[in-house]
A and B are shown apart, each in its own frame.
Chain A
Amino acid sequence: MEILSLKILRMQSLGPDHYWMELENRFKKAFSPGQFLTLRPSPHIFLRRPFSVASASKTSLGILFRKVGAATTILTEKNPGQEISALGPLGRGFPIDPEIKQSWLVAGGTGVAPLLFLLERLMKIQKVSFFYGAGCQPLLFRDLFPQGKYRLFLATDDGSCGIAGPVTALVEKQLQSGEKPEVIYSSGPLPMLQAMNTLGLKYKIPVYVSLEIRMACGLGLCLGCVIPLHQGSSIILKRVCHDGPIFLAREVLWKEITTFTRISNGL
């Protein structure tokens, strides 16, 4: 991991409150899908902010973010050419098993970010289906999807694109039809991840989820982002920033984290 001042290469509005930012990539270590970096939008905001990496090449890093508070608002006001303090790569990415032939990616809303990066990686080596749900058609960022061979299933809450309803219903329909992947990767709002866990248990498919939580350091130092996990018959504590943010869904104690992830927006 490194701390660098990186030049902003591109800043683009994607629709209501959503933005795409590209930074120059000068990190010596390559990011893997699921890993994140922290940015410091302004010296007047005390803590750094974590962002999943949505695409990574040798020269650039893509970040998809939603404007939710003071820090992300400042971020939206940045222009290409300006520099920003970036720290990464942080966390552990999605586990990728080379033996696996077929995986499903299930994304909800802005949670699509790390899965876009994963898709780019997996579609070259596996049969991939991508399930993507959002509030409405303008929030389905189709332009961000890479060219390549994979199936795309879409759902919107208002039915303006794809099926009307939650993306998890789309996943379940496909499972009911008899199709079954070897692994599911999922990222999105907490209720969606919980629903994916339920489906994973029901159909006996391992589900990996990317969790979002408030962080202070992002480095594994402060223990502010600790969550409880089942491990065998005992419960252990893990840091989302350092041991995650990717976890096996069936190991997460969902009830215990429900109360806090709802407050992961704010300043």
Chain B
Amino acid sequence: MAYSRIKKAARDKLTSLEVKIGPLRLSTPVVMASGTFGYGLEMKNLINYRPIGAIVTKTISRYSWPGNPQPRLWETPSGLINSIGLQNVGLDVFLRQKLPRLRRLGPKIIVSIAGFTSEEVCCLARELLAHRVEALEMNISCPNLKSKNKVVATSPRLTYNLVSQVRKAFPGRCLLVKLSPNVTDTPSVAKAAEDAGADGLTLINTVKALAVDLHNQQVISGGLSGPAIKPVGLRTVYEVYRKVNLPLIGLGGITCGKDALEYISVGASAVGIGSGFFSNPLLPQEVVNALLGQLKKTGLPSITYLIGRLNEKKRPS
């Protein structure tokens, strides 16, 4: 197993921190998670983009969405509940105003997409393909959409149907699917996405949560992120890695380089940084430093050798 992995890394000529997510080659395994890095442009004056392998944009819909009313945020002792509701500028403004500037930044661009119908999602995929977008992330797991429709990622069947349709609309390029921890069995949904032709999976979206504000006599429901959910994310990556053969982007509660190494060791090919960036904008650089440090310490030539090291049991190569 480990040997086949080394052979694969050698075949792909991946050096040092380079990783591959399907057809997408990233210079580092650090991915800025959707919804926590705006459209990717806002941080130009604050941070260096070089440690970042890819930026996942804020989720884009066909037409702009206003998102949810306030309150949208609630901090918990080690996390953050948010209920933004996928507020976004819509496809046209994104293509006109955001995408051209995004492409000049350096990191690979993964466009996160969502819609209320499969036609809407497929239309997004076709339009983005026409604009030569290299990678899509299907957000089928947002817990904050107030819709009568079921969250797609709660059902293997719905996931299979939607992913196979989008696959047809977006052929030959990297198609990622972001999955939910709010199900009994994420691996079965992951398998459905794999069978439908996804190139990789992003694990996990936020965990459904609720805060009670006794002072103002109201409740705030939303999705929990931050250190509180790291064990949930690790467990999900660990289980999905054993069930499917796709590269995984692991995220949930990464706030230091060690967290990133943990995700990689249980099977993540890349790691997502989400709300951890809010408290520490230097986190991408810190993760890269930690990964380089680990390579130096172990004498390994590529980070890919560390992927799934603590989860090597059953996976067929």
A85 to B280, CA, bound (A): 9
Least CB distance, B87 to chain A, in whole angstroms: 5
Least CB distance, A267 to chain B, in whole angstroms: 5
Chain A 77-96, CB-CB to B under 8 Å as 1, else 0, gives 00000000101000000000
Residue of A227, A242, A266 with most partner-chain B CB within 10 A = A266
Interface residues of B in 265-289 (CB under 8 A from A): 275, 277-282
Q: Is B46 an interface residue (CB 8 A)?
A: yes
Residue of B37, B71, B84 with most partner-chain A CB within 10 A = B71
Which residues from chain B contact A237 at a C-beta distance below 8 Å?
66-67, 87
Which residues from chain A contact B226 at a C-beta distance below 8 Å?
46
B42 and A221 form a contact (CB under 8 A): yes
Which residues from chain B contact A221 at a C-beta distance below 8 Å?
36-38, 42-43, 277-278
A256 to B69, CA, bound (A): 8
Interface residues on A, range: 20 to 34
* Total count of chain B residues near the partner, CB < 8 A: 39
Report the number of A-B residue pairs with Cβ-Cβ less than 8 Å. Answer: 110
**Are A87 and B281 also in contact (CB < 8 A) when A46-B227, A216-B82, A221-B38 are?**
yes
Q: Is B317 an interface residue (CB 8 A)?
A: no
Chain A 248-266, CB-CB to B under 8 Å as 1, else 0, gives 0000000011011011001
Q: Is B215 an interface residue (CB 8 A)?
A: yes
Looking at the complex, which one of A46, A87, A220, A227 makes contact with B70 (CB distance below 8 Å)?
A227
Chain A 218-247, CB-CB to B under 8 Å as 1, else 0, gives 111111111100000000010000100000
A contacts with B: majority SS: loop
B70 and A257 form a contact (CB under 8 A): yes
B38 and A220 form a contact (CB under 8 A): yes
Which segment, of B72-80, B291-299, B306-314, faces chain A?
B72-80
Least CB distance, A233 to chain B, in whole angstroms: 16
B84 and A219 form a contact (CB under 8 A): no
Q: Is B35 an interface residue (CB 8 A)?
A: yes
Chain B 40-82, CB-CB to A under 8 Å as 1, else 0, gives 0011011000000000001000000011011111111111101
A219 and B71 form a contact (CB under 8 A): no
A224 and B46 form a contact (CB under 8 A): no
Q: Which residue of B lies closest to A227 (CB)?
A: B70
Q: Is B216 an interface residue (CB 8 A)?
A: yes
A256 to B70, CA, bound (A): 8
A217 to B37, CA, bound (A): 10
Which residues from chain B contact A214 at a C-beta distance below 8 Å?
71, 73-75
CB-CB nearest 4 A-B residue pairs: A260-B70, A224-B73, A217-B278, A221-B38
Instruction: Offer 16 A-B interface pairs, CB within 8 angstroms, sorted by A.
Output: A1-B45, A3-B281, A40-B279, A87-B281, A214-B71, A214-B75, A217-B278, A220-B42, A221-B37, A222-B275, A223-B35, A224-B82, A224-B84, A226-B67, A263-B213, A263-B218
